Structure 1
Amino acid sequence: MSPGRETELVVFDVLGTLVDEPGGLRAEIRAAAPAADDTAAGELLALWQDHVAAEQGRMARGERPYADSDTVDREAAELVAERAGVTDLETRDRLATATRRLPPWPDSAAGLDAVARHFPVAGLSNASGPTLLRLAAHGGLRWHQALSGAAVRAYKPAPEVYRLAAEAAGCPPERVLMVAAHAWDLRAAREYGLRTAYVPRPVGDPPGEADDFDLRVESLDELVAVLTRK
């Protein structure tokens, strides 16, 4: 049977899959701290990413109450600003919202539009609702619904985040196709019962030899072709 006939909803991971998260954050850091060279900008980016990963891990372990991505991003931005010596309050405030201006990959906008002509499409992300709204506007990303882990006060790979997708479509999990560039994300989606499609991105998490995803495509254009094949 065609993969498209088994699908009632196509769900896309956003950060890293549809937009270049590290590249966009690096550009925003360079704008906030223009004196930082490439090496310093890389260290500041790592500081941001390490903080986000550490805090999400603490929340998953119950060591910290849930805080949405806007809160954690602001914390990361403050750490970066302190390290870089950025004192201007307006610059620091803008840096705190850097995730809202991440650039889309070249095929993201057109790929989403093409999929959406045939299937309901949703974004499923750890980013907050306000961030997803502004990311979509900034990058020309059009989906029928934006689903944020903030709705269930959790971050992927918590199963309740993937449950949002099946509940949004009102269908069994196996009728939902999750598209992501991160193998860890797809493993968790598969564990919950969603079908899975891997698309490579320069900043993604490639599958291992043991990963058995339903689809592996090289681009969103190929994904559209596979899903619409008769």
Structure 2
Amino acid sequence: MTLASVPAAYPKAVLFDLLTALLDSWSAWNRAAGSEQAGRAWRAAYLRLTYGCGQYIAYEQLVREAAAQVGLPESAALALEAEWPNLAPWSGAVDALQTLAPHCKLAVVTNCSARLGTQAANLLPVRWDAIVTAEEAGMYKPDPLPYRLALQKLGVAAHEAAFVAGSSYDMFGTAAVGLRTYWHNRVGLPLVSGAQPPEIEAPTLDPLAAWLARFGANRHERA
């Protein structure tokens, strides 16, 4: 049987990281910081704080703490929040979501407050079946709880779902939960030390729909 003739076998649900896999929040951080170099340093400090703290601490507080760590003023955090309505989807994100919508439940699992997570999710023209924030889960990714809460809301098991990551930190959580993972590594970050490699890594979302269309068939091949 040729690859083209393999019948579609989509997962029951696809979970997405929101602020890195679907939306270009990098540019917002850079604008708020005043330069790409400062924005990258600030974002890296924030990621270390977020993925290291586990239990939920106000997202806005972590953003301010990360800014202070890299020498940015508190006004940078205010500038980032002002940029929030301007977060733009990565090229290919909307097409991917619209392709998947008839076949799978769609959800986001995002490390931010409920207020900002809902606002960002609603920037994308899709009807979400679940929006899970770190604030709602009470824990930050990569703790397994946010991913499991999304699966619970969707009514699907981990083996019936896929996760689209924006950061390789997510792989710690998806490995613990048993979610097969696609890493949309848009900015070419290295795999975090100790993280399990994703099933597929790409700099765009272009291969996503084809991978998911063969999801069930690939699972049987891997078994």
What does residue range 98-177 of structure 1 map to in structure 2 within 5 Å? 98-99=83-84, 101-140=86-125, 143-177=128-162
Pairs aligned (count): 210
- How far apart in 1 are the matches of 2:130 and 2:101? 11
Larger CA deviation: 159-168 vs 44-53? 44-53
Asked if the contact 1:22–1:203 (Cα under 8 Å) also holds between the matched residues in 2, the reply is no
What does residue range 169-208 of structure 1 map to in structure 2 within 5 Å? 169-202=154-187, 204-206=189-191
The 3-state SS of whatever aligns with 2:9 is: helix
What does residue range 54-93 of structure 1 map to in structure 2 within 5 Å? 54=49, 57=52, 59-60=53-54, 66-76=56-66, 79=68, 83-84=72-73, 93=78
Deviations 1:3-49 (CA, angstroms, capped at 9, x unpaired): 9636111011112211222222111333xxxxxxx4xx623652454
Match of 1:8 among 5, 8, 12: 12
- Note the C-alpha offset of 1:147: 1.2
The 1:124–1:73 alpha-carbon spacing in structure 2 relative to 1, beyond 3 Å, is: same
Deviations 1:87-146 (CA, angstroms, capped at 9, x unpaired): xxxx97444454554332111122112111211111111122221222134454653321
- How far apart in 1 are the matches of 2:7 and 2:60? 36
* Identical amino acids, percent of aligned pairs: 24
Match of 1:23 among 22, 27, 30: 27
Matched, 1:226 2:211: yes
- Note the C-alpha offset of 1:214: 3.5
- How far apart in 2 are the matches of 1:28 and 1:209? 31
- How far apart in 1 are the matches of 2:163 and 2:154? 13
Asked if the contact 1:20–1:203 (Cα under 8 Å) also holds between the matched residues in 2, the reply is no
The amino acid across from 2:14 in the alignment is V
Deviations 1:45-92 (CA, angstroms, capped at 9, x unpaired): 5245415533652x33xxxx7323233335556x49x84596xxxx97
Runs of at least 5 residues in structure 2 that lack an aligned partner in the other structure: 1-5, 218-223
Asked if the contact 1:181–1:206 (Cα under 8 Å) also holds between the matched residues in 2, the reply is no
Higher helix share: 1
Q: TM-score, normalised by structure 2?
A: 0.74
- Note the C-alpha offset of 1:208: 8.3
Task: Give the RMSD, CA atoms, in angstroms.
Answer: 3.6
- How far apart in 1 are the matches of 2:81 and 2:66? 8
- Note the C-alpha offset of 1:197: 2.0
- Note the C-alpha offset of 1:207: 8.0
Asked if the contact 1:11–1:121 (Cα under 8 Å) also holds between the matched residues in 2, the reply is yes
Matched, 1:43 2:38: yes
1:35 aligned residue: none
